[in-house]
């Protein structure tokens, strides 16, 4: 062990001295070129950064990538390539004058992956995703995204894991460890508090230091400490008054000094305003880079308003990064990752993250049903993933009907062909748009196909069961809406009603599949149907994975990592989402858009997601941690190692599969903490997914609770403090379905981490209080 540690230190110091020597040789111009990116071909836009024109520049190495760093061949430093994004590598599938294709795997979206609660599986997905990054000649994947699901309408929620920072942090760490095991890098993003899309380039997010530390930074802290991402991407928004990319206390005091981050920070694309302030804050790389930024930095150094030592430090970190890349190592990438093998992993992950929300009278699995009537346009036009930079150019998406027929189900042919014709005719009418046009003005999904009542009655006679898919899509640039998006559309309500009435009259079941990147309203219609499966956006193997769960080939083991409220207005963040805007102060923004100043105050403080629903007794439609299985589990024999907390506490509990089918359970450990400051009634402090338990089989699950797990952020002392008193351990099958409890005592307060007093809000926040 010692030997390895010593050799790692030697390698690190070798890189450090090589980087120091290289930076010492650089002219001011070379340093400036290094900190300003080369990225992105935007049709008709000249960024003035010399994109594609510099000596030895490599803009065309990987078409469709999001950007590159500047090459300094005279110093032996190649350009490096960075590309999106969280659900798989986003590059152009076709290249001019080239017959080969460059497809990448569309993996299940992050919210689905988090719903697996299986960090090993997520790491395996990461390893395969990172292999595509490496084999297509890319150095850094711009992901994972790990902002918090603060509000159900967040347009990019699908790119993010959860409403809970522990789940987000653990999932992101697993993903980064998987991707980076290939020798390529990641960029955890968007650091921090980019939890909505509305006015994302101007919005000032105002929150307390406690909410920031406990909810919005915690996941990033876990990922930085447990997986050492090569890069962090700062976010677009302001945080308590300053752009995150210009905020020294965020990027240097907290990220580097408190957490020990050693990599580079890059801006989000065109993020922030002041290149010099960004340099001073420790935002090393400005992406995609503009000529104006180069000018501003050069002039500031010459005028003495930017100390060249700061620029040297930023350049040094970028050099160290470059020295670790595959581009520097001249890796001969194949352009031929094993997409077939990856599709197998994508299908398994997809099925493992689907959440069975309802299953009256064991309507699922569909073992007996042979003949299925499949309703809803989404069944024929399944959504593999969200839009914007989180999208992937995959070769195919298996639709639900394809997946069902691959699994051997018989489909009602007439209905299927009517739907297929309708969907392709409607899609043909939609205008063709490029990425930027689509970004600015997303094409709405095809409306539901009108169906005569007699057709539905007919199908109810002929078929054994009905499936209806409800589909949603969203992505970067705008948030979702309540009407016709979170809530069902009138046409969907009547489809569910008509199909259910007709099929139930014949004593036949109706199953609804939700194909969406985020939560939707379910409480008003779920009683009308028999089973509901949350399939999320499951990537390119979508239909096959849904069929795996419907047929029982896979026993669902996904659990919600985000709450389904009964109605949108039940959510505590609603009165502060998306916040206020000040159109009278609008200025000209990027690419002809208006920049409207805006602000949002997180008055709910730490009470986000289940922390709110549980503490304030608001019953959700489906709570955090919830999900059904085709089998049953019992929990027994909780034991704590001791009645008093010393340095850590071991907790064991036994899980038994008491049903008739093999399955996996997610064991969730919540803590209720005592204290001098108010705390949520339950907070997730650990989780563990069992192995595949055969009927009758047991597994003893062990958790270790550390002092840090007991601590909350105490604003008065700027420290994480574990307060003395009685702690209750709650082992649950969800955040409200607590199966076993035990308690221990902490004799005296422990300060687990002293922090700097930074990033305090400038205004008083009327924060939600819990008695």
Closest Cα to residue 759, out of 407, 329, 281, 345?
281
In this complex, which beta carbon is closest to ligand BGC, that of residue 419 or of residue 439?
Answer: 439
Task: Supply the DSSP string of 450-517, one letter for each residue.
Answer: P--HHHHHHHHHH-SEEEEEEE---BTTB---IIIIISPPHHHHHHHHHHHHHHHHTT-EEEEEEE-S
Task: Supply the DSSP string of 626-659, one letter for each residue.
Answer: --B-SS-EEEEEEEES-SB-SSEEEEEEEEEE-S
In this complex, which beta carbon is closest to ligand BGC, that of residue 28 or of residue 593?
Answer: 593
Q: Report if residue 612 touches ligand BGC, rule: CB under 6 A.
A: no
CB of 325 to ligand BGC, least distance (A): 18
In this complex, which beta carbon is closest to ligand BGC, that of residue 179 or of residue 606?
Answer: 179
Catalytic residue among 84, 139, 164, 268: 268
Structure tokens at 433: 């748009």
Q: Report if residue 85 touches ligand BGC, rule: CB under 6 A.
A: yes
List, in sequence order, every residue forming a beta bridge with 95; answer none if it has no partner.
98
CB of 699 to ligand BGC, least distance (A): 39
268 belongs to the catalytic site: yes
CB of 189 to ligand BGC, least distance (A): 6
Closest Cα to residue 146, out of 96, 109, 191?
191
Q: Report if residue 739 touches ligand BGC, rule: CB under 6 A.
A: no
Q: Report if residue 214 touches ligand BGC, rule: CB under 6 A.
A: no
Q: What CA–CA distance (Å, rounded) separates 524 from 527?
A: 8
- 14-48: burial string, b at 16+ Cβ within 10 Å, e else: eeeeebeebbeebeeebbbbbbbbbbbeeeeeebe
In this complex, which beta carbon is closest to ligand BGC, that of residue 66 or of residue 366?
Answer: 66
Q: Report if residue 268 touches ligand BGC, rule: CB under 6 A.
A: yes
Q: Is the N-terminal amide bond of 216 cis, ω within 30° of 0?
A: no
Sign of the CA dihedral running 231, 84, 87, 234: positive
Q: Report if residue 412 touches ligand BGC, rule: CB under 6 A.
A: no
Q: Report if residue 389 touches ligand BGC, rule: CB under 6 A.
A: yes
In this complex, which beta carbon is closest to ligand BGC, that of residue 111 or of residue 389?
Answer: 389
CB of 200 to ligand BGC, least distance (A): 8
Question: For ligand BGC, which residue of 103, 107, 161, 269 counts as binding (CB under 6 A)?
Answer: 269
Size of the site for ligand BGC (CB under 6 A): 9
H runs (alpha helix) in 554-682: 610-615
Bridge-based pairing state of the strands 371-375 and 238-239:
unpaired
Q: Report if residue 244 touches ligand BGC, rule: CB under 6 A.
A: no
Question: For ligand BGC, which residue of 32, 35, 38, 84 counts as binding (CB under 6 A)?
Answer: 84
Q: Report if residue 289 touches ligand BGC, rule: CB under 6 A.
A: no
- 232 alpha-carbon distance from chain centroid: 15
In this complex, which beta carbon is closest to ligand BGC, that of residue 189 or of residue 213?
Answer: 189
User: Exposed/middle/buried for 579, CB within 10 Å: 0-12, 13-18, 19+?
Assistant: middle
* DSSP at 525: T
CB of 66 to ligand BGC, least distance (A): 4
CB of 198 to ligand BGC, least distance (A): 14
**CB 715 within 8 Å of CB 679:** no
Question: For ligand BGC, which residue of 31, 134, 150, 189 counts as binding (CB under 6 A)?
Answer: 189
3-state helix, strand, coil in the chain (%, to 5): 35, 20, 45
In this complex, which beta carbon is closest to ligand BGC, that of residue 83 or of residue 415?
Answer: 83
Question: For ligand BGC, which residue of 47, 66, 212, 600 counts as binding (CB under 6 A)?
Answer: 66
Distances (CA, A) of 515 to 393, 406, 470, 558: 19, 19, 6, 15
Question: For ligand BGC, which residue of 142, 207, 449, 470 counts as binding (CB under 6 A)?
Answer: 142
In this complex, which beta carbon is closest to ligand BGC, that of residue 147 or of residue 378?
Answer: 147
CB of 84 to ligand BGC, least distance (A): 5
Element (H, E) at 189: strand 185-191
CB of 196 to ligand BGC, least distance (A): 12
Residues near ligand BGC (CB under 6 A) are 66, 84-85, 142, 189, 268-269, 389, 476
Residues with active-site annotation:
268
């Amino acid at each position: 062990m010692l030997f390895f540690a010593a050799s790692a230190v030697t390698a690190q110091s070798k890189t450090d001295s090589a980087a120091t020597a290289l930076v010492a040789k650089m002219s001011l111009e070379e340093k400036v070129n290094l900190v300003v990116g080369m990225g992105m071909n935007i049709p008709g836009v000249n960024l003035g950064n010399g994109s594609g024109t510099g000596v030895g520049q490599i803009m065309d190495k990987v078409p469709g990538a999001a950007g590159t760093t500047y090459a300094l061949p005279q110093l032996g430093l190649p350009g490096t390539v960075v590309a999106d994004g969280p659900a798989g590598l986003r590059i152009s599938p076709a290249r001019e004058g080239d017959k080969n294709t460059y497809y990448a795997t569309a993996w299940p979206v992050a919210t689905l992956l988090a719903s697996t609660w299986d960090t090993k599986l997520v790491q395996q997905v990461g390893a395969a995703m990172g292999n595509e990054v490496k084999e297509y000649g890319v150095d850094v994947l711009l992901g994972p995204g790990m902002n918090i699901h603060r509000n159900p309408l967040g347009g990019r929620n699908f790119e993010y894991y959860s409403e809970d920072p522990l789940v987000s942090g653990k999932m992101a760490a697993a993903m980064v460890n998987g991707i980076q095991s290939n020798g390529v890098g990641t960029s955890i993003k968007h650091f921090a508090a980019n939890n909505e899309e509305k006015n994302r380039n101007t919005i000032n997010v105002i929150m307390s230091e406690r909410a920031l530390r406990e909810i919005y930074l915690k996941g990033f802290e876990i990922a930085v400490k447990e997986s050492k991402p090569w890069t962090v991407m700062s976010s677009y928004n302001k945080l308590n008054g300053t752009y995150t990319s210009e905020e020294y206390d965020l990027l240097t005091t907290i990220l580097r000094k408190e957490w020990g981050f050693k990599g580079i920070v890059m801006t989000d694309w065109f993020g922030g305003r002041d290149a010099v302030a960004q340099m001073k804050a420790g935002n090393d790389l400005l992406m995609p880079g503009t000529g104006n930024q180069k000018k501003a930095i050069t002039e500031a150094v010459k005028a003495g308003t930017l100390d060249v030592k700061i620029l040297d430090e930023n350049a040094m970190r970028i050099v160290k990064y470059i020295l670790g890349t595959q581009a520097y190592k001249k890796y001969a990438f194949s352009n031929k990752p094993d997409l077939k093998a990856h599709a197998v992993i994508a299908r398994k992950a997809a099925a493992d993250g689907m959440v069975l929300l309802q299953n009256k009278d064991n309507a699922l699995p569909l073992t007996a049903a042979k003949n299925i009537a499949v309703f809803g346009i989404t069944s024929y036009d399944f959504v593999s993933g969200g839009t914007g930079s989180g999208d992937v150019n995959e070769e195919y998406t298996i639709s639900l009907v394809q997946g069902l027929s691959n699994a051997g189900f018989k489909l009602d042919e007439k209905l299927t062909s009517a739907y297929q014709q309708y969907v392709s005719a409607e899609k043909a009418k939609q205008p063709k748009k490029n990425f930027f046009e689509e970004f600015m003005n997303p094409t709405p999904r095809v409306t539901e196909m009108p169906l005569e009542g007699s057709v539905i009655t007919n199908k109810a006679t002929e078929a054994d069961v009905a499936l209806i898919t409800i589909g949603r899509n969203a992505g970067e640039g705008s948030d979702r809406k309540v009407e016709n998006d979170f809530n069902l559309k009138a046409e969907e309500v009547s489809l569910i009603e008509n199909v259910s009435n007709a099929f139930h009259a014949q004593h036949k079941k109706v199953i609804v599949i939700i194909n969406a990147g985020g939560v939707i309203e379910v409480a008003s219609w779920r009683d009308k149907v028999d089973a509901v499966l949350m399939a999320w956006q499951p990537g390119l193997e979508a239909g096959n994975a849904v069929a795996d769960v419907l047929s029982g080939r896979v026993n669902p083991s996904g659990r919600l990592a985000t709450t389904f409220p009964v109605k949108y207005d039940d959510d505590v963040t609603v009165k502060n989402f998306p916040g206020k805007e000040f159109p009278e102060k609008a200025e000209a923004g990027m690419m002809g858009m208006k920049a409207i100043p805006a602000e949002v105050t997180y008055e709910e403080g730490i009470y986000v997601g289940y922390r709110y629903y549980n503490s304030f007794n608001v019953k959700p439609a489906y709570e955090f941690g919830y999900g059904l299985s085709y089998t049953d589990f019992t929990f027994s024999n909780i034991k704590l190692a001791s009645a008093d907390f010393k340095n850590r506490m071991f907790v064991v509990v036994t899980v038994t599969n008491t049903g008739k089918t093999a399955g996996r359970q997610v064991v969730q450990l919540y803590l209720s903490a005592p204290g001098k400051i108010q705390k949520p009634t339950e907070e997730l402090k650990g989780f563990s997914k069992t192995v595949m338990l055969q009927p009758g089989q047991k597994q003893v699950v062990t958790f270790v609770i550390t002092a840090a797990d007991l601590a909350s952020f105490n604003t008065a002392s700027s420290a994480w403090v574990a307060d003395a008193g009685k702690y209750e351990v709650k082992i649950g099958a969800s955040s409200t379905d607590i199966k076993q409890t035990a308690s221990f005592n902490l004799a005296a307060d422990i300060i687990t981490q002293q922090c700097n007093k930074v990033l305090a809000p400038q205004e008083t926040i009327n924060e939600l209080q819990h008695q």
